[in-house]
């Protein structure tokens, strides 16, 4: 069987030698399979591409897809999948060895048992910071409460996809690609393999909390329209209260006349409901912005160079 290892790379020159050594060591434990590497250079500005080119020169099973600029991990994965879907299965790994290459063994084992999707489940995230674990936990809880299809908790992008699962992901045409959601959407026989998330071996993380927040928003809006519909129910509720209140105000006026007062309650109501309206507008804006990106139909990424492909 031919198995492709898909690894997105953005400024990973520090970690690439370790990555190569360790994956090679694991790959050699499975001599009956043919492995190929698909490195996607996501617009690195350091020596990553040069190193990849050297590797590709020495090993014909190293393929490199170099994008024209940094498009983000999701786009890089999509670019790699187009090439990787030619193999029998594709395994997605992070370059920084946070997803240990040892996972390849149980992944391939499960694939042979007939699973189409095998995801790595982070059983132990003690290597991640407390804040990161907390925010990740909140995200999965919130996402699963809203989305129609549950995401397995603490499963990252690290996974094996059979060819048909990879092809199915490629069929999805959206521009805003929340890959975890897409992998999850396609279904097929799925299982998880628990593992301990390692520390980044070298180099720096490419994410800050603002980016993670936006990524979370993208994931939510891509997978659920509940935040939009919520305002309908909110509107019904408020109108119900308003009606009851109106009846009460009218009755009071008829019974006792109208000594003008109520500045405080008026102010509170105006401020509160302007807030609510702005929030609901904001939610609509989130979706509208995404519709805008979709209708523009721009390509997900542009390829600068392909090596050994």
The entry of Mg ion, ligand UDP, none near residue 83 (CB within 5 to 8 angstroms by kind) is none
Is residue 11 at the binding interface for Mg ion, with CB under 5 A as the rule? no
| Binds 74: which of Mg ion, ligand UDP, none (CB < 5-8 Å by kind) | none
Min separation Cβ 18 and ligand UDP, Å? 13
Annotate each residue in 66-95 with x if it binds Mg ion (CB under 5 A) or - if it does not, as one string: ----------------------------x-
User: CB of residue 116 vs Mg ion: minimum separation in angstroms?
Assistant: 25
| Closest CB 197 distance from Mg ion, rounded Å | 9
CA distances from 124 to 104, 191, 195, 266, 300 (A): 18, 18, 7, 52, 33
- Coil/strand/helix, residue 17: helix
Query: Which CB atom, from 96 or from 116, has the smaller least distance to Mg ion?
Result: 96
The partner in contact with residue 53, picked from ligand UDP, Mg ion, none with C-beta cut-offs of 5 to 8 angstroms by kind, is none
List the single partner that 9 binds among ligand UDP, Mg ion, none, CB under 5 to 8 Å by kind. ligand UDP
C-alpha of 234 from chain center: 29
* Residue 164 structure tokens: 């048909």
Per CB under 5 A, 96 contacts Mg ion: yes
The CB-of-224 to ligand UDP minimum distance in angstroms stands at: 23
The entry of ligand UDP, Mg ion, none near residue 73 (CB within 5 to 8 angstroms by kind) is ligand UDP
CA distances from 21 to 26, 138, 279 (A): 9, 36, 51
Report in angstroms how near the CB of residue 92 gets to ligand UDP at its nearest. 10
* Nearest residue (CB) to Mg ion, 111 versus 119: 119
**x/- map, 189-208, Mg ion, by CB under 5 A:** -----------x--------
Q: How far is the CB of 243 from Mg ion (least distance, A)?
A: 54
Residues near ligand UDP (CB under 6 A):
8-10, 12, 42, 70, 72-73, 76, 94-96, 98, 200, 205-207
For β-strands 89-92 and 155-162, DSSP reports them as antiparallel
Report d(CA 150, CA 83) in Å as an integer. Answer: 28
DSSP codes joined into one string, 230-274: HHHHHHHHHHHHHHHHHHHHHHHHHHH------HHHHHHHHHHHH
Instruction: Report the C-alpha gap between 39 and 8 in whole angstroms.
Output: 6
Within 153-225, where are the H helices? 163-171, 179-186, 209-223
For the packed helices 16-27 and 48-58, what is the interaxial angle rounded to 10 degrees? 30
Which residues of this protein are in contact with Mg ion, per CB under 5 A?
A: 94, 96, 98, 200
């Amino acid at each position: 069987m031919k198995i492709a290892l898909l690894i997105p790379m953005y400024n990973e020159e520090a970690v690439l030698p370790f990555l190569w050594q360790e994956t090679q060591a694991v790959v050699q434990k499975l001599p009956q399979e043919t492995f190929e590497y698909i490195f996607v250079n996501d617009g690195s500005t350091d020596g990553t591409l040069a190193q990849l080119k050297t590797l590709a020169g020495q090993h014909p099973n190293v393929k490199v897809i170099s994008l024209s600029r940094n498009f983000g991990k999701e786009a890089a994965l999509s670019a790699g999948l187009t090439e990787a879907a030619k193999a029998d299965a594709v395994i997605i790994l992070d370059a920084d060895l946070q997803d240990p290459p040892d996972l390849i063994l149980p992944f391939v084992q499960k694939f042979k048992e007939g699973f189409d999707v095998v995801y790595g489940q982070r059983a132990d995230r003690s290597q991640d910071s407390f804040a990161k674990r907390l925010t990740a936990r909140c995200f999965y809880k919130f996402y699963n409460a809203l989305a129609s299809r549950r995401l397995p908790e603490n499963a990252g992008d690290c996974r094996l996809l059979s060819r048909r699962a990879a092809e199915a992901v490629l069929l999805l045409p959206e521009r805003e690609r929340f890959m975890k959601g897409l992998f999850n959407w396609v279904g097929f026989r799925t299982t998880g393999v628990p593992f301990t998330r390692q520390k980044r071996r070298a180099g720096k993380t490419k994410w800050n909390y603002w980016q993670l927040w936006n990524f979370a928003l993208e994931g939510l809006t891509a997978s659920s329209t509940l935040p939009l519909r919520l305002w309908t129910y909110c509107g019904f509720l408020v109108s119900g209260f308003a009606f009851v209140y109106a009846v009460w105000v009218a009755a009071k006026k008829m019974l006792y006349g109208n000594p003008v007062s109520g500045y405080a309650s008026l102010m509170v109501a105006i401020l509160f409901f302007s807030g609510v309206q702005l929030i609901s507008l904001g939610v609509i804006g989130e979706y509208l912005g995404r519709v805008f990106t979709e209708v523009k139909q721009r390509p997900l990424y542009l390829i600068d160079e392909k090596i050994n492909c």
